[in-house]
Structures are given as C-alpha cells and as structure tokens.
C-alpha cells in the first residue's frame, strides 16, 4: 500500500469529521494550546499537514504555520479553509522535502511518523526536522505506544476500539515492526466501509535514539496534550525534543 494511493481524493473528502473524533474540541483544543505555547513568537512547520486539522486553528491563534504534505488531494481540502498566503505548503515527503525559512517548532501529530515504513526513513524525518529548526528549536511528536502486551502467543491482531458503527483493529508483523490499522465503519445495513493504513511502530526508547542521531535531546514526555504523566500503562505519548547546543 503506497501512501499516495492511501491518501487519495476519496480519503481526503471523508477525512474531516468536524466536532467529533480527532476534530472534537476536547482533542483539538489542548493540541493547539500546547503547540502555540511551544512555538512562542516563532514560526511553526507541520510535517504531513493534511487537511489542516491542527494548522488552521493554530494559524488562527496568530502562529505563522507552513506545511509539508505528500498528498495533493489533502492539500486541496486544506485550500477550502486557508489559502497559500495564509498557510504555505510544500508538496513532498516529510523525510526529505525542504520548506523555506527557519522555524522555532516542527511538529508531527496523530501517529503520522509511523506512516514512514522503515527505520531509515524515520531517522531521516528527524534529521529533516533538525534541518529546519533554528537554534534551540523543538520537534514535537505525538505517537501511540505499541500494544504488544495484548498479543497472546499465536495471535496477530488486536481490537483497539469498538463503538456502535465502528470497529478498529490492528494486525501486527512483529519481525518487521509493522502494523496495518483496519477501520471498519458500518450502519444498520449489511454493508461496511473499510479503510486500511500501514505503519511502522516505534518504541519510545527507539524514538529517543533516533532523536539523538539527529542532534536532539528529549525535553519532556507526557501521556497526552494536557500534560498527564506518562506511565507504563499510557497508550500514547507527546514527546518534545530540543536541538542540542553545538
């Protein structure tokens, strides 16, 4: 499954869910609050900006936001909310594409670094973030914690969410650290819609080593955007890395 084919026009059209899911105020509000605080008076760069879920409200807070995005249909969706002058976007891969300028903040939200399917690509993503940051700048990553403890011997899949009309499950390839997320949406009919996306999962310690290789140090790690304590039971984390002094 190539990323360009996954994030196509149909996916872009269905991606936004205003007021619910990852667009719910209780999810989006703390995210934007924290990123605005970290950006300060500087500019921010979002890797994989998508349809502007975070970038648009962040720009409305007065932060100068630029994006990098691989999917043209997702950017076209973004353009219905903000023009190029308001939120410039460079079309390209977040591991290699270069945006003009220097930034105080680069950020990757909602597990997106795992869309890069090799360790080398993920390391290059860190190095690309470092390339864009001014001295003392920060790179922020929101990422889920692999739930391998839920896999008994011989089982390759876990159901990570279930509610009326929706089931989310992951299938694991533990040798390659790969997982495919399956999102089933259905109603009272016998028809269901399936969306699948491949990922390479990363343990927090591995993520920290990638950061070191790119010239970062871990500044903070919390379980969520509200600043909850990260523990062995946390299902996700928000990690803030800072550029090491030369």
pLDDT digits (tens, 9 = 90+) for 97-109: 999 999 999 999 9
Query: Do 100 and 164 sit in the same domain of this protein?
Result: no
Containing domain of residue 157, as a range? 148-198
Within 8 A by CB and 6+ apart from 123, the residues are: 210, 213, 214
Stated as kind and residue range, the H or E segment containing 75 is helix 72-78
Query: Are 158 and 169 contacting, i.e. CB atoms less than 8 angstroms apart?
Result: yes
Query: Are 124 and 96 contacting, i.e. CB atoms less than 8 angstroms apart?
Result: yes
Query: Do 38 and 123 sit in the same domain of this protein?
Result: yes
101: which 2 tokens?
């300028």
Query: Are 59 and 86 contacting, i.e. CB atoms less than 8 angstroms apart?
Result: yes
Query: Do 80 and 181 sit in the same domain of this protein?
Result: no
Indicate the number of domains in the chain: 2
Taking Cα atoms as reference points, which of 59, 101, 73, 82 lies closest to residue 3? Answer: 73
Query: Do 133 and 27 sit in the same domain of this protein?
Result: yes
Query: Do 58 and 161 sit in the same domain of this protein?
Result: no
Taking Cα atoms as reference points, which of 204, 42, 202, 224 lies closest to residue 113? Answer: 202
The pLDDT > 70 percentage for the chain reads 97
Query: Do 17 and 72 sit in the same domain of this protein?
Result: yes
pLDDT value at residue 75 = 95
Query: Do 178 and 59 sit in the same domain of this protein?
Result: no
162: which 2 tokens?
């279930």
- 164 class by beta-carbon count within 10 Å (0-12 exposed, 13-18 middle, 19+ buried): exposed
pLDDT value at residue 3 = 64
Torsions phi, psi for 210 (to 5 deg)? -55, -40
pLDDT value at residue 26 = 92
Average confidence score pLDDT of the chain: 92
Query: Do 107 and 24 sit in the same domain of this protein?
Result: yes
pLDDT value at residue 153 = 85
pLDDT < 70 stretches in the chain? 1-6
pLDDT value at residue 10 = 77
pLDDT value at residue 29 = 95
Between the CA of residue 211 and those of 5, 85, 129, 207, 244, what are the distances in Å? Answer: 29, 32, 10, 6, 10
pLDDT value at residue 4 = 60
Query: Do 166 and 180 sit in the same domain of this protein?
Result: yes
Query: Do 183 and 85 sit in the same domain of this protein?
Result: no
Query: Do 131 and 152 sit in the same domain of this protein?
Result: no
Q: Report the CATH number that the domain containing residue 47 is assigned in CATH.
A: 3.40.50.150
Query: Do 138 and 153 sit in the same domain of this protein?
Result: no
CA 6, distance to chain mean position in Å, is 15
């Amino acid at each position: 499954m190539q990323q360009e084919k996954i994030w196509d026009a149909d996916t872009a059209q269905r991606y936004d869910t205003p007021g619910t899911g990852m667009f719910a105020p209780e999810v989006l509000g703390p995210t934007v609050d924290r990123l605005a605080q970290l950006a300060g008076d500087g500019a921010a760069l979002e890797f994989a900006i998508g349809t502007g879920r975070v970038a648009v409200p962040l720009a409305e807070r007065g932060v100068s936001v630029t994006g990098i995005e691989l999917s043209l249909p997702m950017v076209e969706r973004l353009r219905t909310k903000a023009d190029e002058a308001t939120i410039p976007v460079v079309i390209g891969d977040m591991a290699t594409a270069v945006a003009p300028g220097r930034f105080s903040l680069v950020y990757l939200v909602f597990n997106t670094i795992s869309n890069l399917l090799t360790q080398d690509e993920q390391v290059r993503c860190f190095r690309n973030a470092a390339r864009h940051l001014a001295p003392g700048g920060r790179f922020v990553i929101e990422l889920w914690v692999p739930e391998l403890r839920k896999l008994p011997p011989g089982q390759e899949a876990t159901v990570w969410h279930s509610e009326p009309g929706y089931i989310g499950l992951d299938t694991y390839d533990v040798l390659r650290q790969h997982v495919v997320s399956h999102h089933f949406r259905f109603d009272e009919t016998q028809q269901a819609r399936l969306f699948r996306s491949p990922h390479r999962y990363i343990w927090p310690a591995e993520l920290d080593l990638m950061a070191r290789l790119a010239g970062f140090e871990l500044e903070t790690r919390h379980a969520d955007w509200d600043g909850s304590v990260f523990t062995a039971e946390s299902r996700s984390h928000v990690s803030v890395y800072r550029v090491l002094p030369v």
